[in-house]
A and B are shown apart, each in its own frame.
Chain A
Amino acid sequence: MNLLSFRGGVHPPHYKEATEKIKVEKAKEPTRVAIPLQQHIGAPCEALVKVGDKVKVGQKIGEAKAFVSAPIHSSISGQVKQITKMLTPTGEAQCIVIESDGLNEVHESIISKGDINTLSGKEILEIIKESGIVGMGGAAFPTHVKLSPPPDKKIDTIILNGAECEPYLTADHRLMLENPQSIIYGLKAMMKATNVSKAYIGIEDNKPDAIESMKNAAKDETSIEVVGLRTKYPQGAEKQLIYACTQREIPSGGLPMDAGVIVNNVGTASAVADAIQTGMPLIQRIATITGKGIKEPKNLLIKIGTPFKEIVEQCGGYNGTVGKLIMGGPMMGLAQHTDEIPAIKGTSGILVFSPEEARLPEPTSCIKCGKCVDICPAFLQPLYISAYSLKDMHDTAEKYRALDCIECGSCSFICPSKRPLLQSIRVAKREIVAKKKKSK
């Protein structure tokens, strides 16, 4: 097979063996969920319910007031117990706490919205927006925003990201095997909503069965091309994926739409299909619960708002002492300090490290080996940006184009001196952006 790729990148161990062959299992119904009003960048939602209200599955409980925002829905039926500030995987946020009545009664608004052949593009966009669909890859950016580029940006291609280049995670892999038709359906809906006639589904070649499965599902679709990508991190990074599929580079500082492309995760496409076919908004997702610290690693279909703790218990609990708890993959995931946090729309996985795996390496002097320069997929010189950042010389760091960093972490991964390269580059980026805001 002719494999597509980008320049640079690293080869972390895959660690996918634990869950890649395990079918997605429906998680136990949670007795209590906490649904954050803010789960991603953009404006927080406003609560539509009060304490004491009865809610049903799929009922909208938080309204998005701003454009860059997505509404939230109840994932269970029961009673609102609290609306309060709580810890979530992305920090403190206002949460709606609902206690289950055990009935799982579906809200009356949940009915099929029709078919993509009869719905107009505008209607599809509205369904996506109302269903609270966000990017399922991890960053959880509202999908309807992505699909509504300003009129001066001509979009001609949609790419579905099935690369799943993060080690450990197998949620997308399983979805592509178990429900390929819904991915194709969702993709076609997105193509109609944006009036795009060409789409790619990019999948890393360490998942030949997923490539096979998607090719099979798309065999009657002439406008959809399933492409094999070289297994290399960060193959699923937006800019790198676009380059691999179309050989187009997103201009520095630009967005995919500047290259005429929209990128969505395969999980997002499947959520779109659900929203249209069954009318069910985004209230659940597949997550991979894995790592040495988990007794029985699994792919679980979890309801948004389920506490991490409960999810882990369904996987046999923790395997010995826990060193690190990560939401997402090991390369870009967010380390958590407690498991008393709810799963959110962006919870693609829960990864648990043993204390040995979690131990932070002791950084030694940079030996200028240049490996970070060789592998940087943004063609930066991480060693210099990091050095200037550590010296508080953020202006010089900016001259070395710190803002073009995609924060994939390949440099920190490869560094033989275990230097905190990305960690310090992030500091420089924040400082540069803060300064820019100030001077405006």
Chain B
Amino acid sequence: MENRLIVSSSPHIRSNETTSKIMRDVVIALLPATLAGVYFFRMGAVKVILAAVIAAVLTEAFIQKICNKPVTINDYSAVVTGLLLAFNIPASAPWWLPVIGSIFAIAIVKQVFGGLGHNFMNPALAARAMLLASWPVQMTAWVKPGADAVSTATPLAILGGEATESLPSLADLIIGNVGGCIGETSAILLILGGIYLVYRGVIAPKIPVVYIVTVAVLTFIFGGFDAQFMVYQIFAGGLMLGAIYMATDYASSPVTPKGQMIFALGCGVLTSVIRIYGGYPEGVSYSILLMNVAAPLIDKYTSPRVFGEVK
């Protein structure tokens, strides 16, 4: 043989799944909700989404460049972070708000800890929490869907008694024709994207289902066995977005089967507690962030039984 052969240890074939394919699937899954956000909140949504995504991608490229690391913006992970952050911001926000958020998410939460896969928290959620603490007014300036940007309250705030408007109809709530962050309002389209992700094998239904069911059961019991209250709790706010797209973030959730159950259950309990007893009408982001921090510990104590192991 004239040429040199490649010698490596087995296996010699790899699946054609790649990180960028997975991230691209997440972007595709988020597209319907993105379009709905643009439809409901018009140019305000376009501005926030573009600012967040562009800032996220540029920050990633810039940091990798100055660190002399290979630039990996074509793996779509920064796009996902930017998009998810934009989903968590009201359409009325000034353009610099998502920009600061994206820079924080990528530079501080993701790259400082080692980049893709090493973030211990969901970058988009951590950025949202930072923005909410720093610019509470701009981050809660909800507007009604439509071109004229009339200010309004979110259904959860109305439910919690912080606002006196009348509750929107359930149909409007599920379609997303209500006040709220850009991407979290349309429960039905978020679920559609989630089904796509499950079909593509990107996420398992376990975390979202356990999370949502936990919230449903707890809000039903502690909301005084009020079915309407429970249904609004499930479809309002960021629960669908959080449960399907944030709690399932690979890097910041456990990998063990049992660990994922505990993680999702914990998210559900915390969300319900914050919503019902806490000072905030919404508790999804904080509960996921808290469980993110606990994920390594959960993984450590939930190692699966090894084949043939007698415990």
A interface residues (Cβ-Cβ under 8 A, vs B): 10, 12-13, 167, 239, 243, 249-254, 318, 321-326, 330-339, 351, 353, 357-361, 364-371, 373-374, 377-381, 383, 400-401, 404, 407, 409-410, 412-418, 422-423, 426
Q: A239-B308, A250-B308, A404-B308 are in contact. Are A334 and B10 (CB under 8 A)?
A: yes
Q: A368-B117, A368-B250, A413-B13 are in contact. Are A335 and B305 (CB under 8 A)?
A: no
B interface residues (Cβ-Cβ under 8 A, vs A): 1, 3-15, 17-19, 21-22, 72, 75, 77, 114-118, 204, 250-251, 253, 255-257, 303-310
Distance of A369 Cα from B114 Cα, bound (Å)? 16
Which residues in A have their C-beta under 8 angstroms from that of B15? Answer: 10, 12, 413-416
**Are A338 and B5 neighbours in the complex by a CB distance under 8 Å?**
yes
**Are A239 and B117 neighbours in the complex by a CB distance under 8 Å?**
no
Which residues in B have their C-beta under 8 angstroms from that of A368? Answer: 117, 250-251, 253, 255
- Residue of A337, A351, A409, A416 near B18 (CB, 8 A) is A416
Question: From residue B171, how far is it (CB to closest CB) to chain A in Å?
Answer: 36
4 more A-B residue pairs beyond the given contacts A331-B12, A338-B1, with a C-beta to C-beta distance below 8 A: A368-B255, A383-B255, A418-B18, A423-B9
Which residues in A have their C-beta under 8 angstroms from that of B117? Answer: 365-368, 417
Which residues in B have their C-beta under 8 angstroms from that of A364? Answer: 19, 72, 75, 116
Q: In chain A, what residue has the closest Cβ to B22?
A: A416
**Are A367 and B307 neighbours in the complex by a CB distance under 8 Å?**
no
Dominant secondary structure of chain A at its interface with chain B: loop
Residue of B10, B72, B117, B305 most packed against chain A (CB within 10 A)? B10
- List 16 A-B residue pairs with CB atoms under 8 Å apart, sorted by A's residue number: A243-B307, A252-B309, A331-B10, A331-B12, A335-B9, A353-B12, A358-B5, A364-B75, A365-B114, A365-B116, A368-B253, A370-B255, A381-B256, A404-B306, A413-B11, A422-B11
**Are A365 and B118 neighbours in the complex by a CB distance under 8 Å?**
yes
Question: From residue B53, how far is it (CB to closest CB) to chain A in Å?
Answer: 19
Distance of A323 Cα from B251 Cα, bound (Å)? 35
Distance of A349 Cα from B250 Cα, bound (Å)? 39
Dominant secondary structure of chain B at its interface with chain A: loop
Distance of A323 Cα from B3 Cα, bound (Å)? 8
Which residues in A have their C-beta under 8 angstroms from that of B308? Answer: 239, 249-254, 378, 404
Distance of A365 Cα from B255 Cα, bound (Å)? 16
Q: In chain B, what residue has the closest Cβ to A359?
A: B6
Distance of A364 Cα from B23 Cα, bound (Å)? 14
Distance of A326 Cα from B17 Cα, bound (Å)? 23
A-B contact count (CB 8 A): 161
Which residues in B have their C-beta under 8 angstroms from that of A426? Answer: 9
**Are A331 and B13 neighbours in the complex by a CB distance under 8 Å?**
yes
Which residues in B have their C-beta under 8 angstroms from that of A338? Answer: 1, 5
Distance of A333 Cα from B7 Cα, bound (Å)? 11
4 nearest interchain CB pairs? A409-B11, A370-B255, A252-B308, A367-B117
Distance of A357 Cα from B15 Cα, bound (Å)? 12
**Are B1 and A336 neighbours in the complex by a CB distance under 8 Å?**
no
Distance of A332 Cα from B12 Cα, bound (Å)? 8
Q: In chain A, what residue has the closest Cβ to B303?
A: A381
Q: In chain B, what residue has the closest Cβ to A421?
A: B11
**Are A323 and B19 neighbours in the complex by a CB distance under 8 Å?**
no
**Are A322 and B3 neighbours in the complex by a CB distance under 8 Å?**
yes
Which residues in A have their C-beta under 8 angstroms from that of B303? Answer: 381, 400
Question: From residue A12, how far is it (CB to closest CB) to chain B in Å?
Answer: 6
Question: From residue B89, how far is it (CB to closest CB) to chain A in Å?
Answer: 25
Question: From residue A168, how far is it (CB to closest CB) to chain B in Å?
Answer: 9
**Are A412 and B11 neighbours in the complex by a CB distance under 8 Å?**
yes
Which residues in B have their C-beta under 8 angstroms from that of A339? Answer: 1
Which residues in A have their C-beta under 8 angstroms from that of B307? Answer: 239, 243, 249, 252, 377-379, 404
Which residues in A have their C-beta under 8 angstroms from that of B310? Answer: 251-252
Which residues in B have their C-beta under 8 angstroms from that of A360? Answer: 6, 8
Which residues in A have their C-beta under 8 angstroms from that of B10? Answer: 330-335, 407, 409, 422
**Are A323 and B11 neighbours in the complex by a CB distance under 8 Å?**
no
Residue of B8, B204, B253, B310 most packed against chain A (CB within 10 A)? B8
Distance of A416 Cα from B305 Cα, bound (Å)? 25
Distance of A249 Cα from B1 Cα, bound (Å)? 45
Distance of A331 Cα from B11 Cα, bound (Å)? 4
**Are A373 and B255 neighbours in the complex by a CB distance under 8 Å?**
yes
Question: From residue B30, how far is it (CB to closest CB) to chain A in Å?
Answer: 17
